[in-house]
Amino acid sequence: MRFSLVFLALGLLAACSPTTESQGAPQASRTARGFPLPDRPVAGIVAPEWSSGPDRDAADESGQLIRGLRIGPGMKVADIGAGSGYHTLRLSPAVGPTGTVYAEDIVEAYISGLRREAERRKLTNIRIVVGTADDPKLPAKTIDRAVLVHMYHEVENPYALLWNLAGSLKPGALVGVIDLDRGSGSHGMPPALLKCEFEAVGYKQLSSEPMAGGVGYLAIFEAPKARPRPQDIRGCKAG
């Protein structure tokens, strides 16, 4: 009888003890907020600029981006991972005095240099934003267009970043990604994997085309109509 009572007590104790699952602790493959972690290498941030300005100018990289996304006067455009501001400085005249370019980066030294250059050029429609690895910290439901140029492969928490970015986009807003068609560990992003990660967060791919001049491909996505809950996002498998 004594042994029966002991086993009964142990059973009740085990039933009442909180388990890892009941405490809601994240799985190892997810962030603390429940977003999936990328199943691929994340390249390190190595420089504020992807390539030399003259080479990119020769390829008309910004022109291709602006035309592809139909960026025009009065728009509010976010340059995510703006770095030294190669595209920010070219987007500024494209949106004109009635538009705004939000130049976002997580490296304050890059942003400080861009701020000084914008002030030197008297580009008053540029707003500097210091974001985090998982949140660009942009105003809600404000952005008409967002661009991520040669940097998406450096994002540590891509699903969280895309989810937070979606909250800043207007209905029908477009997001353009320029990257090279190679592995993320080699500072590129396979187009199929990019599409999978965006669609996992609710974005709709509209196009993906190679760009002239060997600067990569341009993929264009439409903003999600609704954001999934972080715990409902299913991560994509590389390869």
Query: What is the CATH number for 102?
Result: 3.40.50.150
Structure confidence by residue, pLDDT tens digits, 89-114: 999 999 999 999 999 999 988 889 99
Residue 48 covered by a domain? no
Range of the domain at 145: 65-232
18 belongs to a structural domain: no
Has residue 125 been placed in a domain? yes
Structural domain includes residue 206: yes
Number of domains, the chain: 1
Residues 6+ apart with CB under 8 A from 30: 36, 37, 231
- The C-alpha atoms of residue 106 and residue 136 are separated, in whole angstroms, by 8
**Cα(15)–Cα(132) distance, rounded to whole angstroms?**
41
Q: Is residue 182 one of the residues assigned to a domain?
A: yes
pLDDT, greater one: 152 or 23 = 152
Question: Is 16 among the domain residues?
Answer: no
Report yes or no on 80 lying in a domain: yes
Whether the predicted pLDDT of 77 surpasses 70: yes
DSSP 8-state class, residue 230: G
Amino acid of residue 107: V
Is the confidence at residue 14, as pLDDT, over 70?
Answer: no
Amino acid 7: pLDDT: 37
3-class DSSP state for residue 36? strand
Measured distance CA(124)–CA(145) in Å, rounded: 19
Residue 199's Cα: distance from chain center in Å?
Answer: 13
Return the pLDDT at 186.
82
126-160: burial string, b at 16+ Cβ within 10 Å, e else:
bbbbebeebbbebeeeebbbbbbbbbbbbbbbbbb
In a domain, 73, yes or no: yes
Distance linking the first and last C-alpha atoms of the chain: 60
Q: What mean pLDDT comes out for the span 70-83?
A: 98
pTM: 0.84
pLDDT in tens, 29-44: 777 689 999 999 887 7
